Amino acid sequence: MKLTMLVLFLSFAAFGQQPPSEQPPPGKRPPMPAPKNLKILPPEHLIETMRAFQAALGVRCDFCHVQGDFASDDKPHKEIARKMILMAKQINGNFPDGKMHVTCYTCHRGATEPATRPGETPHEEHMEHGEPLAHP
């Protein structure tokens, strides 16, 4: 009888436990979902590249991305960014050493619109569209 009770008790203890929580420990971010709609960026460099864009243009994610739907292509800045990435790759491909010589920061210097001459201020027509400006 004691053996039966022991087995019964251990069975309840083993099968009655909650499965481990999928939530990260407090203070840690949940893992990023697998990226969708990557057309020209390799997923292993995605976060690093996005942070470089953020610094180079002085913008937040929602400058190019629809809030809550990063895969959406509804914002025109996202397609512009793709074209600029291809342009920088093409320019860098012309250097025989294989190093990166041109980045977004090379021209943008923290502004959404690159200056075309020294001391130039951001274009007024871009301000009326509500684009954030890194430099006044």
Query: Would 57 be classed as within a structural domain?
Result: yes
The CATH code of the domain that includes 118 is 1.10.468.10
Query: Would 118 be classed as within a structural domain?
Result: yes
Taking a C-beta distance cutoff of 8 angstroms, is the pair 30, 23 a contact?
yes
Query: Would 63 be classed as within a structural domain?
Result: yes
pTM: 0.64
Query: Would 10 be classed as within a structural domain?
Result: no
Query: Would 103 be classed as within a structural domain?
Result: yes
Q: What is the dihedral of CA 73, 112, 106, 88, to 10 degrees?
A: 20
Q: What is the pLDDT of residues 101-117, one digit of tens each?
A: 999 999 999 999 988 88
Amino acid at 124: E
- The pLDDT of residue 89 is above 90: yes
Q: How far apart are alpha carbons 99 and 28 in whole angstroms?
A: 35
Q: Spell out the long-range contacts of 80-84 with Cβ–Cβ below 8 A and sequence spacing 24 or more.
A: 81/53, 82/39, 82/40
For residue 120, give every residue at least 6 positions away whose Cβ sits within 8 Å of its Cβ, in sequence order, or none: none
Query: Would 107 be classed as within a structural domain?
Result: yes
Number of structural domains, the chain?
Answer: 1
Query: Would 116 be classed as within a structural domain?
Result: yes
Domain extent, residue 117, equals 43-130
Q: Per mean pLDDT, which of 7-11, 19-23, 81-85 is the most reliable?
A: 81-85
SS3 66: strand
Query: Would 56 be classed as within a structural domain?
Result: yes
Q: What is the pLDDT of residues 43-87, one digit of tens each?
A: 888 899 999 999 999 999 999 999 999 999 999 999 999 999 999
